[in-house]
Amino acid sequence: MSAGPLAGVRVVELGGLGPGPFCGMLLADLGADVIRVDRPAERGNPPRFPVLHRGRRSIALDLKHPEGALAIRTLIGDADAVIEGFRPGVMERLGLGPDVCLAARPALVYGRMTGWGQDGPLAQEPGHDINYIALSGALHAIGPAGGDPVIPVNLVGDFGGGGMLLALGLVSALLHARTTGQGQFVDAAMTDGSALLLAMTYGFLAQGTWKDERGVNTLDGGAPFYGVYRCADGGHVAVGALEPDFYSTLLAILELRDDPHFARQRDRAAWPSMRTRLTEVFATRTRDEWAAVFEGRSACVTPVLSLTEAAEHPHNTARATYRRGPHGGHEPAAAPRFTTTPTGDPAPAPLVGAHTDEVLRRAGFDDQHITTLREKGVIG
Residue of 29, 33, 80, 158 with catalytic role: 158
Angle CA 93–94–97, to nearest 5: 80
Is 128 labeled as catalytic in the residue annotation? yes
Contact 213, 145 (CB under 8 A): yes
Query: Do 270 and 256 touch, CB atoms closer than 8 A?
Result: no
Marked catalytic residue, from 128, 176, 313, 369: 128
Integer Cα distance of 147 and 215 in angstroms: 8
**Can 80 be counted among the known catalytic residues?**
no
Strand spans (E) along the chain: 10-14, 33-38, 57-60, 81-84, 109-114, 184-189, 226-230, 236-240, 301-303, 322-324, 330-332
Could you count the other beta carbons within 10 Å of the beta carbon of residue 147?
9
Exposed/middle/buried for residue 314 (C-beta within 10 Å: 0-12, 13-18, 19+): exposed
Cα 322 to Cα 125: distance, rounded to the nearest angstrom: 37
What is the 8-class DSSP label of residue 162? I
Query: 35 and 71 in contact (C-beta within 8 Å)?
Result: no
Backbone dihedral angles phi then psi of residue 63, each to the nearest 5 degrees: -65, -25
Residues 54 and 2: their CA atoms lie apart, in Å, by: 11
Q: Per-residue DSSP letters for 308-372?
A: HHHHH-HHHHHTT-EEE-TTSSEEEPP-S--SSS---PPPPPPPTTTTHHHHHHHTT--HHHHHH
Q: Please give the positions annotated as active site.
A: 128, 158
